[in-house]
Amino acid sequence: MSGKDLVTLSATIRRSLIASSLAVVGSFKPLLPVKSFPGRALASVERRLKEARFRSPRVVPEFARLYPNAFFIQIGSNDGDQLDPLKDAIRTKNWKGILVEPVPYVFEKLKLRHGNNPRLTLENIAISKQAGVMPFYHLRNAEEEQNLEKPPRWYDALGSFSREVVLKHEDLIPDLRERLTESNVNVTTFDALCIKNNVKQIDLIHIDTEGHDFEILKTIDFPRYRPKLVIYEHHHLNPVDRAAAQEYLRKSGYEVFEEILDTWCLDMSQPTFRDRHLRSLWTEGAVE
C-alpha cells in the first residue's frame, strides 16, 4: 500500500469515527435541556465534531507551524477579526504582511485591531486588473443607522464590485436595499501594491472579495511571487469562473481542494507539500 493510500485510508477511518460520534451526540440531545450545563457541553462537542469534518480549519495552523515567519498578502481583510482564517497566526506567530480593505469605515475597524502592529501594513484600497477609481457596493455603517434593526455581526463584510452579489444576501438582511450604498473607491493592481511595498517574495495569499476573486487571481504573476499557499473565496463565482479558477491554479502547479466557501491551493513544488501533516489535508477524500 502506497503512502497516499495509507493517508486516504486514515482519512476514511477518521470521517467514519466523526460520523459515529455525531450520531451518539444526536441520540443524547433530546434527553438534555438545551440551556442546562450538560446540554451546553454537548452542543459544544457537537460543534467541534462538525468543524472537524472539514480540512480547512487545520490548514493555516499547520502552515503557520512550518512557516512562523511567513509573509502574506490579504485582499479583503474586513475588520481583521470575523471570519478571518489568518487572525490567530497573525496574533501568535511572527507573520508580516499587507492587509487590504477598501471600505473606509471598515478600514477604521481594521486599524483599531492592527494599526499599531509594526509587522503589518494596512492599505485602504481595492485591487483589480487596472488602477483608477471604480464604483464599489457596500452597506452603510450600521453604527450610524439608529433607526434600523441591528444587523448580523458579519454585516460589514458585504462589499463588492458587483451590486448583484451584495443583493444575494437580502434573505438574511430584509432591509438590505435600504442599507446598500455605492462609493467610488481607489483601485490599484496587485503588482503595483507589491512594488509600492517592496514585496519580493510571498508565502501566502488570501483573497476574499465577494465575487472578484478570479479577476484578481488572473493578475498575479505566480512564477514571480510563487506563494506557497493560496486561499480564495469561490462562493460568489459563477460555475464557469469557479471551474476556470481551479484549472488556472492547477496549471500554475498547485494542488487544489474546495470546501463550502473557499478554495485552498498548495504549491506542490515546495518542500512544504512533503510535510506529512499538511500533505494529508490535501489527499483526504472529499467530505460527504
Interval 131-159: pLDDT, tens: 999 999 999 887 766 666 777 778 888 89
Q: What is the CATH number of domain 55-129+189-283?
A: 3.40.50.150
Q: Which tops the pLDDT comparison, 70 or 1?
A: 70
pLDDT of res. 12: 54
Judge whether residue 252 has pLDDT over 70: yes
pTM score of the predicted model = 0.80
Check pLDDT > 90 for residue 52: no
Residue 48 has pLDDT above 70, yes or no: no
167-204: b (≥16 Cβ within 10 Å) or e: ebbeeebeebeebbeeeebebbbbeebbeeeebeebbb
Residue 244 CB coordination number (10 Å): 15
Averaged pLDDT, 43-47 = 73
Task: Using the predicted structure, report yes or no on whether residue 129 has a pLDDT greater than 90.
Answer: yes
Q: Taking all residues of the chain, what is their mean pLDDT, rounded to a whole number?
A: 86
- For the stretch 71-100, pLDDT in tens is 999 999 999 998 899 999 999 999 999 999
Higher-pLDDT residue of 120 and 25 is: 120
In the prediction, which pLDDT does 148 show? 64
Q: Is the pLDDT of residue 160 over 70?
A: yes
Give the model's pLDDT for residue 172. Answer: 85
- Rounded to whole angstroms, the Cα distance separating 137 from 166 reads 7
Report the pLDDT value the prediction gives residue 283, as an integer from 0 to 100. Answer: 66
What pLDDT is attached to residue 195? 98
Q: For residue 108, is pLDDT > 80? A: yes
